[in-house]
Each structure stands twice: as C-alpha cells, then as structure tokens.
Structure 1
Amino acid sequence: MSASAKSKKTKKVKNVRYVPYARGFKIPTKKDQVLALGLGVGNKLPIPKEYTDTTFSDVNPFTFFNNIQQPTSIDDWLAQYNEEGQTYSQYLKQCPWLSPRKVKGMHDNFVSSAKTLSGKYPGSKIYIVPVGEFNEEDYISFSNLLDYSKRFLCLPIATLPHFKLQQNGDKLYWVDEPSTKTTVRSSPRTRLTELTSRFHTNTGNFQVQISPLLTKLRQNIPRDAFCLIGLTRHDLYADESDLFVAGMAAGNHGVAVFSLNRYDPSFSFSTEFWYQRYKVPGYTAEERRHLILQRSCKLVVHEICHILGLDHCIFFDCCMNGSGHLAEDFRQPMHLCPVDLRKLQTLCGFNTVKRYEQLLEFYKKFKMESETDWVERRIAYLKQK
C-alpha cells in the first residue's frame, strides 16, 4: 500500500483508454511467476498443491490467482514505480526474522535453531493499539481487527489500553499518564506533549504529523513485542506538501502508525485540499461498518507483512500489491498470492488449509461474500484427492 498521496496539478486528458506501466517495468510472464515461487521450472521441484490449483503447464500454471491489473490511472502504483518484485528466494536472504542471529532491538529469549518466527522468539507478539479514542460513530471494532490479524498471520496478537490524545483548541497533545509508565524516570504527574499538527478553522479538521507519533510509539513499545502498530482515526501527513499519508513504519524500530480516517465510504475527500471532505449519501450503518472493517483488515495485515519482510508484490493480483491511491487500494484482493503465501508460511509455519478455514469463519461471520466464496472454493480444491 502507498504511504502517501500527494497533491498534484496535472492536465486533464479526455478519453484515455490506455495507461502505460512505469518506464522500465516488465510484466511478469507465467515462467517468471513460477520462478518467483522458487519451485517448478528451473528448480526441478513440483509445485505443492497449496501454492497452485492446476498441474503445472506452460499455458496456465495458476487459475485461482489473477495476473496484476493493467493501470487504469496515471496515479496507479505500477504506473508510477518500476517495482522489481521480491521472489521467494530473495525473501529468504533478505528477511531478518529468518536469520540465525537475533534481530536488533528484540528482548525476548532467542532460539537460533528454530525455523519459524514464534519458535525463534517464543514469548513475543504483535501489538495493535488504538492511538486516540474510537467511539461508536467510527464503526471500528478493534477486537475484530485483532481477530482477523491473528487468523491471517497465525501469530500471537495482543493490544494495550489506548494511547490517549487530547485536543485543546487548535492543538493536539499526546497524554502520558503515570499509570502507563514503567521506567524509573516516570513522573507522578500527567504529562502533555504537543504533537505537530495542522488545523483548519472553517472545517475543524486536524491532520497530525506522523514522525512525532512514531517517536512516542518507540517510547512505549513493550519488551515482548515483535512490533507495535498504532491505529488512529486522525488524518496523517509527513511533509507539508502532502495531501495525506495513510501511514508509515519505522521498521528498524519495530513501530508503525496508520490512519483509518479515509476508509469510511460515506465520505469522499478532496484531491487538492487536505482539509476538505464531502458527505456521500446512501450508505446504511451496516454497509459502513462492513466496508470499514474489510478495508481496515486489509490495511493492517498488509503493513504488518511489510514489517515481517514481505515487499510489494508484482507477480499476481495480491493483498501485497502496492497502491497509489485509495480506489486502487480498495479494489485489491484480501488474499495472498502463491509467492507471498509461501513466504508467510515459511516464516510462521502454519497449516495452509487450517489457516483458510480460520479465515472462512471470519468472512462468514461478517458476510464478506466474495471472500467467503473464494476461500470455500480454495479449501475444496486443496482437500481434493
């Protein structure tokens, strides 16, 4: 997913039927897809059923998994960036979590001989924590986000009491309370730290600069954390020229923060001014809750996968594709392609069918019909003899 969407002045072009890929980008061939998986052609190894749905042939090795989509807008990710992609073999070499050496900053006991992430760090977990309060009008359930992340990643997921933010007029503050402090330097008093932000008087809208939030998260990361993911309903920006940023990770420090502000379908947002948004009529409360949950689930696992070492995917239509704008993000699938599924399976050690069954329970519960249908068919295929 794109970290930012910037305001740009471009000439309007009518009746554009073809948008080219970024200069230098090469569309992966069927052979490239199989080579990226690290099996099949050139490796003299059969493709396990969990990574495909047909017997390999030069014509069509995969049918459940679609090819990446041709750009339809000049703002689409692959219309802007010449992504090289990350093969499975490259992931094994690049991912620090698979190293026989302890990752810098990890405090948990380390088992160098273990093969999976939880085996190497048996007491650690991923933390997903609210930054600022969410109320019923936000239509966001953190318990559901935690549940989905656990089913998708097959790793321990936990949360903490929300990190408090306080608005005083046109200023926004991070609130450090004595009860949340664990260091010898903790103060018996509540402390307010002003966050860099911008405020629009006429609309009353805030945007919070992301760097100070990452700093505060670093100061509060638990000792048993693989990473700490902060989620906020506040809009975010990094540089003054930004229209907004969806979020940002400081992977070397194990922290990230992301905004769910623009995931509500009942609002549309200006492409020119950060503070302008417009009400979109016609959505029921149930529809809003459904779409916000679906979009938020995809955002959270996409970004955690980045922290776990997975780069953007170019080999298939995949949850790990990059996106240059919200519409592109929304139309991308929730499932992983074979290449990224193999990466995550190697890191986490899950049984693929059981993982799909756990996801199916979630999709059925929240009436995600297309995801339910896809996973049901996938499970049925994998269980065929």
Structure 2
Amino acid sequence: MSKPVKFVRGFHEPKPKDIDKALGNDAPFSNEFKTSFNSLPKPTNDLDWLANYREKGQTYAQFLDQCPFLDDRSSLQEYIYLTLLDNDDRLSILNIDRLVDYTKRFFQMEVKLLPLFTNITWNDKKRTLACTVKGRNNSTSATTLRTRYDSITGHSQICVNHVLNLLKRSVPSDARCLVAITLHDLYSDSSDLFIAGLAQGNCRIAAFSFFRYDPRLEISEEF
C-alpha cells in the first residue's frame, strides 16, 4: 500500500471560516455560490503543487488589486485578435467563423480577425516558407520564416519563436491578446519533437497549431 501524500510542511488547509474571511463581507457571493465548490483536494502525487509549495493564500480583495487583467490599462484592451498563418486552401478545413464565435462566447469578449500574414508560399527547392507580414503601421515586408525540414519524411515545421517575434511588432493597442492560428506543425527548440503552441503573456501574444489534431496523424519519434 502506497504512503499517502501530505501537504507540504507549514501549509494550513483552509477551514470554512478562513474561506469566508478571504471572500470578505462585501463580496457579492451568495451562500449557494460559496457551497458550489468542492473542498480543497489533498495531494495525490509527490509532484503535486501543494505537496511542495507552502501557499499563503489570497483574499478576494487582494486578487482584485493584483490581477493584471483588471487594471486600468486592460480596460482599454477590449478585443481578442486572431490572425491566420496559412494558405486559404489549407484553412478551408477549419470553420473559422465557428472558431471566432466559440472564442467570443468562451471569453465573453469581442473577437477580430487580423490579416497579418499573406502570400504564404513553400519553396520546394530551398525548403523554406516565405510570406508577407503586415506591421502595426500597415507597412508590409517579405519574410522567410525559420523552419526545419526532414528530407526522409518530407515533413516541415515552423519555429514558433520566430512567429512570436513577428507578432510582437503587430499587437494592436486595443488588443487583450493576439494569437496566430496555423495548420503547420510547430517547434521551439531543436530537441522538440513538436509543440502545440507557445504564448508570451507579458507581450499578449501566442501561436497555436492544429496540425497535431489531425486524426490521421501517426506519432513517431522523428519530427
């Protein structure tokens, strides 16, 4: 029988009175709302967060004061921007309108499509992917995306870090975030088999790939 995993030494499991105190008397929570949450689960693995870190907790007032998404600047960042990094014929298998609608409903924010990447072409001779990128001031520039290519499998991947660097130059001032969507496979480091995506929260940017969601795909140890 395995030994039960305990909270890290010094962590105090919150009692109902502690929770009420953290929420505060002025918090707009009904008793029904307060009882809708399960009690704090005990760690089940040695790697669980609370088995290793002594969290001090946070009151609701502290959360409102410290949350970066609730400051005065974020009130002006009212849109989620999506940009498509792919050819129209490839993107046709995605229902972009439904993706936009889902994102809008899930985050309860307005969503806009931003056409940053155009003229995306694969150079079969050089094994590179080129495109035209629109900057924040509507200027355009031709760019060759950093890629890697496997001559045995014929598979190519885009370096997500290069994509993020391009996004940094184009984040609208009213954007909560700018996310690039692609059907191309992504990688970050040479040791990566692949990555599904990567975000830089402080810069309000991210890139996400649907490539690995293809049900016909067979995963191997080679990219």
Normalising by structure 1, report the TM-score: 0.45
Aligned to 1:208: 158
Q: Who wins on radius of gyration, i.e. which is larger?
A: 2
Q: 1:95 aligned to 67, 74, 84, which one?
A: 67
Runs of 4+, deviation exceeding 6 Å: 25-28, 83-86
Tell me: CA distance 1:232–1:43, structure 2 relative to 1, closer, same or farther (3 Å).
Answer: closer
Instruction: Find out whether 1:48 has 2:30 as its counterpart.
Output: yes
Post-superposition CA distance 1:7-50 (Å, at most 9, x none): xxxxxxxxxx97x98x9599996x47996xxx526656485267
Aligned to 1:175: 132
Instruction: Find out whether 1:194 has 2:176 as its counterpart.
Output: no
Post-superposition CA distance 1:101-138 (Å, at most 9, x none): x3xxxxxxxxxxxxxx5xx32x7311012111354687
SS for the counterpart of 1:166 is: strand
Aligned to 1:62: 37
Instruction: Find out whether 1:166 has 2:124 as its counterpart.
Output: no
Aligned to 1:148: 102
Task: Give the CA deviation at 1:228.
Answer: 0.7
Distance 2:214 2:59 in 1: 35
- Contact 2:80–2:110 (8 Å) recurs in 1: yes
- Spell out the pairing of 1:2-151 with structure 2 (5 A cutoff): 31=14, 39-40=19-20, 43=23, 45=25, 47-48=29-30, 51-52=33-34, 56=35, 62=37, 70=44, 78=48, 87=58, 89=60, 91-100=63-72, 102=73, 120-121=75-76, 124-133=78-87, 135=89, 139-151=93-105
Task: Give the CA deviation at 1:229.
Answer: 0.8
Tell me: CA distance 1:94–1:234, structure 2 relative to 1, closer, same or farther (3 Å).
Answer: farther
Q: Comparing both structures, which one devotes a greater share of its residues to strand?
A: 2
Letter in 2 for 1:211: N
- Contact 1:134–1:140 (8 Å) recurs in 2: no
For structure 2, list consecutive stretches of 5 or more residues without a partner in the other structure: none
Task: Give the CA deviation at 1:251.
Answer: 2.2
Tell me: CA distance 1:252–1:182, structure 2 relative to 1, closer, same or farther (3 Å).
Answer: closer
Matched residues, number? 213
Distance 1:255 1:223 in 2: 12
Tell me: CA distance 1:232–1:91, structure 2 relative to 1, closer, same or farther (3 Å).
Answer: farther
Distance 1:83 1:247 in 2: 27
Tell me: CA distance 1:97–1:162, structure 2 relative to 1, closer, same or farther (3 Å).
Answer: same
- Contact 2:182–2:210 (8 Å) recurs in 1: yes
Comparing both chains, which one has the higher relative contact order based on Cα–Cα distances under 8 Å and sequence gaps of 6 or more? 1
- Contact 1:132–1:162 (8 Å) recurs in 2: no
Task: Give the CA deviation at 1:249.
Answer: 1.7
- Contact 1:218–1:253 (8 Å) recurs in 2: yes
Aligned to 1:217: 167
Aligned to 1:367: none
Task: Give the CA deviation at 1:195.
Answer: 1.7
Distance 2:37 2:129 in 1: 50
Normalising by structure 2, report the TM-score: 0.72
What is the CA RMSD across the aligned residues, in angstroms? 4.1
Letter in 2 for 1:228: L
- Spell out the pairing of 1:231-270 with structure 2 (5 A cutoff): 231-270=181-220
Task: Give the CA deviation at 1:157.
Answer: 1.2
Distance 1:229 1:245 in 2: 15
